[in-house]
Amino acid sequence: MLFVITDMRVGGSQMVLAETARSFDPARVKPVVACLKDPGALAPRLEQAGVPLYSNLIGGKRDVRVLWRLMRIIRRHKIRVVWTLDSGDKMFWGRLAAWLCRVKGIVSALHMTRKADGTKVIERSNRLLEPITDCFVAVAEAAGEYLIDHEGVPRDKLRVVYNGIDVSRFTGNGRAEARKELGLAEDAPVAVHVAVFRPEKGHDVLLAAAQKVAERLPAARFLLVGDGPTRSQVEAQCREMGLAENVLFLGQRSDVPELLAAADLSLLTSRGFVETFPMAILEAMASSRPSVCTNVGSIAEMIEDGRSGRLVESEDSDGLAAGILEIMENPATAEAWGRRAREIVTTQFSLQNMVAAHEKVIFSLNG
């Protein structure tokens, strides 16, 4: 089968694809990946697993030669199912190439429900190709309902394939070593937030909550992992609020399992319906860490409020601070919620479950 994506940079859709493609039983599914642009940092994971990878297939918005290039890949590998990831050019050209090559199954997976600017995910040009699309895939039930209600996805064509992770990579062990590496005191209350720096991720709300927490727990530390266009703005706001000692900006990191081991809890402070099924929260759950999250998107399908974490309303910095303090000040609660979080991700959102769900869709179309 052929996956069509923009690139393999570090991101949610890309991480899902990298793990899924590497984990198929090659006797059942032989994956091929086509990146319309540069391959990105995750490409070596595919290449090391022997997954054929094509890149730089499009030269610009009007480069129609991408259609011929995709068709050549489909014919070379005798592709029977084409699976596009998210909207835009890859959704359009990938499906059109598949239809022209008469493949048996055309799938469009949508890992988001709105673009960052709040506009609809499926553009007009892509709506025109709905009749040739056999299946649309959402990453959660709530996300699927949103796509049906707001994006016009036909209910009878929608399938849900939950994201999953390799639980074995996230043990939550090594707390003392991880804290020593980061220069954190052994007894300091620590929260971690992993997200790109963009307005919809709510870093300003996080800082407002952090200020309230620091007033009560001056030793509390907040690890902000990631980079992006608003990072410098958030850093300036942090200094203005007097939080320079409490908030650590760690940038883009490849040692997230170790950072989670150093933390007592994970945070998600996103706004509106920009989140669907974030990998960062699954990773925290696998590390036996409770999470305090804004109740947006499909987060309620991940977090059991009062059993594996806390859900608060979007923009509610007071509620966020209360949830953080509840965990930081009650180690027994943090431990119990962390155990439940790992139980949920192990039984429901494992890599094996995600791969099996992909295969179920593939074989339902491939016969």
Dihedral of the alpha carbons of 312, 317, 318, 322, in degrees to the nearest 10: 60
d(CA 50, CA 32): 10
* Paired sense of beta strands 2-5 and 81-85, if any: parallel
pLDDT for the residue numbered 62: 85
d(CA 153, CA 155): 6
317, 205 in Cβ contact below 8 A? yes
Q: Name the CATH superfamily, with its identifier, for domain 2-164+350-366.
A: Glycogen Phosphorylase B; (3.40.50.2000)
Which of 273, 296, 277, 3 is closest to 139 using CA atoms? 277
DSSP assignment, residue 156? G
Question: What is the mean pLDDT, run by run of 10 residues, along the chain of 367 residues?
Answer: 93 90 94 95 93 95 94 98 95 98 96 71 92 96 92 96 94 93 96 94 97 98 96 98 97 93 97 82 97 94 97 97 98 97 97 96 86
Q: Name the CATH superfamily, with its identifier, for domain 167-348.
A: Glycogen Phosphorylase B; (3.40.50.2000)
The sign of the CA dihedral 284, 118, 252, 54 is positive
Which residue type occupies 41? A
Instruction: Pinpoint the residues of the chain covered by CATH 3.40.50.2000.
Output: 2-164+350-366, 167-348
pLDDT for the residue numbered 325: 98
CA atoms within 13 A on the CB side of 10: 14
| Phi/psi at 321 (5° precision) | -60, -40
- How far from chain centre, in Å, is Cα 290? 18
pLDDT for the residue numbered 273: 62
One DSSP character per residue, 12-63 reads HHHHHHHHHHHHS-TTT---EEEESS---TTHHHHHHTT--EE----SSTT-
pLDDT for the residue numbered 224: 98
Which residue type occupies 217? L
DSSP assignment, residue 77? T
Which of 249, 239, 246 is closest to 215 using CA atoms? 246
pLDDT for the residue numbered 115: 65
| Phi/psi at 139 (5° precision) | -95, 5
pLDDT for the residue numbered 81: 97
